[in-house]
Structure 1
């Protein structure tokens, strides 16, 4: 089951929070997924967006997928995040595009704090916590860590979280 428009985050008004569903490519739901008020999803013609079971997105998150974005099982995403695998505009050097879209993979049981930006090519390992306000623009392959900052780095390790 996919549930859209749930949750009550006191800092936004659900009456004015608009969700957007623009899908020209593919979306795969691998189980129960909840998408909060104001979730905006755009999947381009060549894009594939994959939600594993138990993914829970609070309010006001935007996902822009032109290539592939995948969310692992049990991932929790707080409010007002931006996740996009494209720059939208091409940068050309010697007649070649040097900034193509790149896949994003978010592992299992990841907790993403509010107001994070996750950009193309990013990987977030299983059981990772992403601190609020972070910019993720690279691969984090070690799990059970807290990552955060602009640009993000590992802040501490050997951690776990529970909802």
Structure 2
């Protein structure tokens, strides 16, 4: 099921308007269930193609601005106030060579990514599966060429700050961890191998 404008994160005030703009010749492909919170923008112009993998979800105020190609892998979550755009919107000219580069390119976000709030993802960004992007990060290059399978990216422009972390996607596991922390007043928990195996299975 495709759910657009569903209040679920409660990170924005209610009655926030959303916008869908689809030029002739553009295409959106939903590979499975997808949810957008309130205040989203889907703006596809020129010959843009945007593909959402199954069980993708987007927080309030997320903007998807496509002119060429944006592909978002299955089970990826994008937090509120993030902007994903595959174009610079305007051309610029090198005044010494008179050369003009294409303003549009590709954005490919892998599966099981977690894009934290306020990120800016620009043309040329390609991420591995299981990537985490910290809040306010700028992603604008191919990160699949970097070493490590579980990248945490942070900064503007984003750099690798960790290669050992994965987002816990199981709501049940997260609830159990929260309960223990509330009971013990913080600290650190060690998950069992069984918990770790289950924690990477997406549940809502």
TM-score greater than 0.5 by the shorter chain: yes
Is 1:117 the counterpart of 2:116 in the alignment? no
Unaligned segments of structure 1, at least 5 residues: none
Q: Tell me, what secondary structure is at the counterpart of 1:120?
A: coil
Deviation at 1:95, TM superposition (A): 5.5
Deviation at 1:158, TM superposition (A): 2.2
Is 1:157 the counterpart of 2:158 in the alignment? no
- Give the 4+ runs in structure 1 shifted more than 2 A: 7-11, 92-97
Q: 61-70 or 3-12: which moved more?
A: 3-12
Q: 141-150 or 65-74: which moved more?
A: 141-150
Distance (Å, rounded) in 1 between the aligned partners of 2:91 and 2:14: 36
Q: 128-137 or 92-101: which moved more?
A: 92-101
Alignment partner, residue 45 of structure 2: 44
Alignment partner, residue 60 of structure 1: 61
Distance (Å, rounded) in 1 between the aligned partners of 2:102 and 2:47: 16
Alignment of 1:1-163 (within 5 A): 1-15=1-15, 17-24=16-23, 25-93=26-94, 96-141=99-144, 142=146, 143-163=149-169
Distance (Å, rounded) in 2 between the aligned partners of 1:8 and 1:55: 14
Normalising by structure 1, what TM-score?
0.93
Q: 90-99 or 119-128: which moved more?
A: 90-99
Distance (Å, rounded) in 2 between the aligned partners of 1:29 and 1:9: 21
Q: Which has more strand, going by share of residues? A: 1
**Greater RCO, CA 8 A, separation 6+:** 1
Distance (Å, rounded) in 2 between the aligned partners of 1:48 and 1:96: 27
Q: Which has more helix, going by share of residues? A: 2
Distance (Å, rounded) in 1 between the aligned partners of 2:138 and 2:93: 25
RMSD: 1.4
Deviation at 1:91, TM superposition (A): 1.4
Q: Tell me, what secondary structure is at the counterpart of 2:39?
A: coil
Total equivalences in the alignment: 162
Q: Tell me, what secondary structure is at the counterpart of 1:90?
A: coil
Distance (Å, rounded) in 2 between the aligned partners of 1:100 and 1:5: 30
Deviation at 1:92, TM superposition (A): 2.8
